[in-house]
Amino acid sequence: MTRRRWIADEVSGDRAFLFGRNAEHLVRVLRARTGQRFEIATPEGVRIGEIVEIAPERVVFATSPLAHEEPRQSSAIIHLYLSIFKFDRFEWALEKVTELGVSRIIPVIAGRTDAHLASAAAKRVERWRRIVHEASQQSRRDAAPEICHPARLATATETALGQRIVLAESERDLRLAALIRDAADLSMAVGPEGGWTDSELGVFMNNQWTAASLGTNILRAETAAIAAVSVARFLSGKESPTHATRR
């Protein structure tokens, strides 16, 4: 049976800690006891953690190396520029692209982003970080992807890392699969409901992004995000990395 994995909230020497919701779930829901062992993801890698101290919102593990440590595999780090759309579907997309191995998610306020959603997005960031943290543990990642603060399109696209690809309904010929190449970083942008405006596509082009298509079907934003990450991961020929900047 696969041992459950937790991402440490804090590490000090050979001690790892879970706090808050993580600790509460382990103690109250899973009824953990001292002496139980779990996999603990730390900045130095995955270790075995044995519970040595339990409190309602704090669990302490004594950690030691895994008997057979899982090898880390290199691949392009995927930065997903995801336009903000209806929060329930947006959050479902966050969960799924996390499971697929995306490394960083930049919520983008686009021209067709609903004004109410745009104004409320900043207040949802901590919730989004909890969602991807939980999804990372469920999918046995080493770390949760970074969730950036929502940014306007012009600002976000200027600083994108590595190869830059924008998914666009207006692109008829060039498919995403034909563009993916060996790169340390891959930035992909997925538009909101209704797609990117012509002026926004102009911003992408001015910032050296290349437009690509996922096919002839018109996809919902959350479907396009999942499909794009899946294609990028598959074409890398390797598992996507799970390391991300810790906050």
Question: What is this structure's pTM?
Answer: 0.84
Does the residue 230 lie in any domain? yes
User: In terms of domains, do 127 and 85 share one?
Assistant: yes
Looking at residue 238, what DSSP letter applies?
S
Does the residue 232 lie in any domain? yes
Does the residue 71 lie in any domain? no
Residue that is last in its domain, among 65, 86, 101: 65
Question: Helix, strand, or coil here: 221?
Answer: helix
User: Which residue pairs from 152-155 have beta carbons closer than 8 angstroms and sit at least 24 positions apart in sequence?
Assistant: 152/108, 152/109, 153/108, 153/109, 153/110, 153/111, 153/200, 153/203, 154/203
Does the residue 246 lie in any domain? no
User: In terms of domains, do 56 and 177 share one?
Assistant: no
**Would you list the DSSP string of 35-76?**
T-EEEEEETTEEEEEEEEEEETTEEEEEEEE-SSPPPP---P
User: In terms of domains, do 144 and 117 share one?
Assistant: yes
pLDDT tens digits for 132-173? 999 999 999 989 999 999 999 988 999 999 999 999 988 888
What CATH number does the domain containing 32 carry? 2.40.240.20
pLDDT tens digits for 95-117? 999 999 999 999 999 999 999 99
Does the residue 241 lie in any domain? no
**Would you list the DSSP string of 108-120?**
EE-TTS-HHHHHH
Specify the number of domains making up the chain.
2
pLDDT tens digits for 5-45? 899 999 999 999 999 888 888 888 888 899 999 999 998 88
Q: What angle do CA 38, 42, 46 make, to 5 degrees?
A: 55
- Give residue 124's pLDDT band: very low, low, confident or very high (50, 70, 90): very high
Predicted local distance difference test score (pLDDT) of residue 175 = 93
Does the residue 24 lie in any domain? yes
Which residues are registered as beta bridge partners of 185? 77
Which residues are registered as beta bridge partners of 147? 105
- CA dist., res. 46 & res. 40, Å (int): 6
User: In terms of domains, do 91 and 60 share one?
Assistant: no
Which residues are registered as beta bridge partners of 19? 58
User: In terms of domains, do 13 and 94 share one?
Assistant: no
User: In terms of domains, do 52 and 111 share one?
Assistant: no
- CA dist., res. 164 & res. 185, Å (int): 9
Does the residue 46 lie in any domain? yes
Let me know: does 109 contact 150? Beta carbons within 8 Å.
Answer: yes
What CATH number does the domain containing 158 carry? 3.40.1280.10
Domain of 33? 5-65
Let me know: does 39 contact 67? Beta carbons within 8 Å.
Answer: no
User: In terms of domains, do 56 and 96 share one?
Assistant: no
